[in-house]
């Protein structure tokens, strides 16, 4: 397209160069210009980044936090084992949705954050903020669901907290979970570890969770059998690390903001580019259909049981085979490659043979979904 632009106007290249320079200069600077918190700040996309980098990052800055990975990794004094520590809050509406509920999500989400750090989860905490008037029966259902999820995952919830707020001050119930685990790989995993040539793998179809939540909200009168993909990924990660070990460079669960946002975070941190092959991206036909109807992109929709694995090229086939052996990785696929230039950009070879930039999600007009 560029040479076409040059044909019609010689200044185009200069203009685009200037824009690119601004973009590059801003690459590591997120600007927070807003005066109030809007829902966009919770969407997991650019606005969330602006908030984190504009408020929390500078205030809390330390070597464990600054990489902004899913979990902090440290060695306790006198110990030898590396520990991973993470936390996450859950405010999903509705509380119950096809394929799960807020409790299951709260257990799986924190397990997954630990797993993405290459850790075997050990213990979880659970904090509840309850709204006056919330039905105990619903609370029981949610807590039972958490207990079941924890038991199935082989971990224990060992500490907790409860607060009740006045009616109208919370949307039924909010949950926070934190977790610790033991890092079981010697490899350095992180979104700043991508190397040119690396392959990008996904363990299955994307967009299920976000789509299921959207449909569970009353406004959309579409019937479908789409279920949230909420799942604990630590055993899948375990078998991947057993099989290809230090040749895994980064693991990430593409939750809010979807695959597009996660990949953009990686290319910014690693100063590399990622090229994706759109036809290779697994998406269920129902999810694709609903996204078509609503004008959404499955690549920006939240997942709760998906894993992005960046592995060295020589290990890619073994990694793919390993993922496919696991019940949570049957539909795994290799769908992208890391290259050196142009840094900090994600590209997509589209389904019809065209090309485009894949940007982070910018401000989500939809209510919170996880």
Partner 1 sequence: MKFVDEYRDAALISRIAAEIARLSEGQHLKFMEVCGGHTHTIYKHGIEDILPRNIDLVHGPGCPVCVLPMGRVDDAIAIARTDGVIFTTFGDMMRVPGSQGSLLDAKADGADVRFVYSPLDALKLARQYPDREVVFFAIGFETTAPSTAVTLLRAQAEGSKNFSVFCNHVTIIPAIKAILDSPDLRLDGFVGPGHVSMVIGMRPYTFIARDHRKPVVISGFEPLDIVQSVSMLVKQISEGRAEVENQYARVVRPEGNVRALQAMARTMELRPFFEWRGMGFITQSALKLRPDFAAWDAELRFEVPGIRVADPKACQCGEVLKGVIKPWECKVFGTACTPETPIGTCMVSSEGACAAYYNYGRFSMAAERANLPLINA
Sign of CA dihedral 288, 290, 292, 297: negative
Among 124, 266, 273, 328, binds partner 1 (CB under 8 A): 273
By the rule CB under 8 A, 161 interacts with partner 1: no
By the rule CB under 8 A, 353 interacts with partner 1: yes
By the rule CB under 8 A, 5 interacts with partner 1: yes
- For residue 285, give both structure tokens: 């036909």
Interface stretch with partner 1, choices 176-184, 188-196, 243-251, 354-362 (CB under 8 A)? 354-362
d(CA 59, CA 161): 26
- Fill in the per-residue mask, 193 to 222: x = in contact with partner 1 (CB under 8 A), - = not in contact: --------------------------xx--
CB proximity list for 78: less than 8 A, separation 6 or greater: none
Closest approach, Cβ 10 to partner 1, in A, equals 11
**Residues 40-69, interacting with partner 1 (CB under 8 A):** 40, 46-47, 50
Q: Strand, helix or coil at 192? A: coil
Among 130, 178, 366, 368, binds partner 1 (CB under 8 A): 366
By the rule CB under 8 A, 223 interacts with partner 1: no
By the rule CB under 8 A, 327 interacts with partner 1: no
CB proximity list for 304: less than 8 A, separation 6 or greater: 100, 105, 108, 109, 112, 209, 228, 229, 230, 231, 253, 255, 370
Can you state the percent helix, strand and coil of the chain, rounding each to 5? Answer: 40, 25, 40
Q: Which H or E run includes 357? A: strand 355-357
Q: Which residues bind partner 1 (CB under 8 A)?
A: 1-5, 7-9, 11-13, 15-16, 18-20, 22-23, 31, 33, 36-40, 46-47, 50, 219-220, 273, 275, 285, 288-289, 292, 294-295, 297, 339, 341-342, 345, 347-357, 359, 362-363, 365-366
């Amino acid at each position: 397209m560029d040479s076409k632009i040059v044909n019609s106007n010689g200044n185009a290249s200069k203009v685009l160069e200037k824009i690119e320079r601004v973009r590059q200069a801003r690459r590591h600077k997120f600007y927070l210009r807003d005066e109030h918190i809007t829902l966009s700040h919770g969407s997991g996309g650019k606005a969330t980044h602006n908030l984190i980098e504009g408020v929390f990052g500078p205030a809390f800055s330390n070597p464990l936090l600054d990489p902004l990975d899913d979990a902090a990794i440290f060695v306790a004094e006198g110990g030898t084992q590396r520990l991973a520590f993470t936390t996450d809050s859950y405010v999903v509406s509705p509380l119950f949705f096809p394929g799960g509920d807020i409790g299951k999500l709260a257990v799986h989400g924190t397990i997954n954050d630990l797993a993405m750090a290459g850790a075997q989860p050990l213990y979880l905490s659970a904090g509840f903020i309850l709204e006056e008037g919330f039905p105990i029966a619903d609370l029981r259902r949610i807590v039972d669901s958490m207990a079941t999820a924890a038991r199935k995952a082989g971990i224990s919830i060992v500490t907790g907290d409860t607060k009740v707020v006045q009616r109208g001050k919370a949307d039924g119930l909010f949950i926070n979970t934190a977790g610790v685990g033991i890092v079981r790989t010697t490899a350095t995993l992180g979104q700043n570890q991508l190397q040119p040539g690396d392959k990008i793998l996904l363990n299955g179809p994307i967009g299920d969770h976000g789509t299921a939540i959207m449909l569970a909200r009353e406004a959309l009168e579409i019937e479908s059998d789409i279920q949230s993909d909420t799942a604990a990924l630590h055993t899948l990660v375990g078998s991947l690390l057993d099989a290809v070990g230090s040749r895994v460079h980064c693991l990430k669960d593409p939750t809010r903001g979807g695959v597009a946002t996660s990949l953009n975070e990686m290319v910014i941190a690693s100063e590399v580019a990622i090229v994706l092959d759109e036809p290779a991206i697994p998406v269920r036909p129902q999810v694709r259909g609903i996204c078509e109807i609503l004008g959404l992109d499955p690549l920006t929709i939240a997942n709760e049981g998906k894993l992005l694995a960046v592995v060295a090229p020589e290990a890619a086939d073994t990694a793919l085979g390993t993922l496919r052996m696991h019940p949570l990785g049957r539909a795994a696929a290799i769908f992208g490659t890391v290259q050196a230039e142009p840094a900090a950009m994600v590209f997509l070879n589209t389904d019809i043979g065209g090309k485009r930039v894949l940007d982070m999600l910018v401000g989500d007009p939809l209510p919170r979904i996880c």
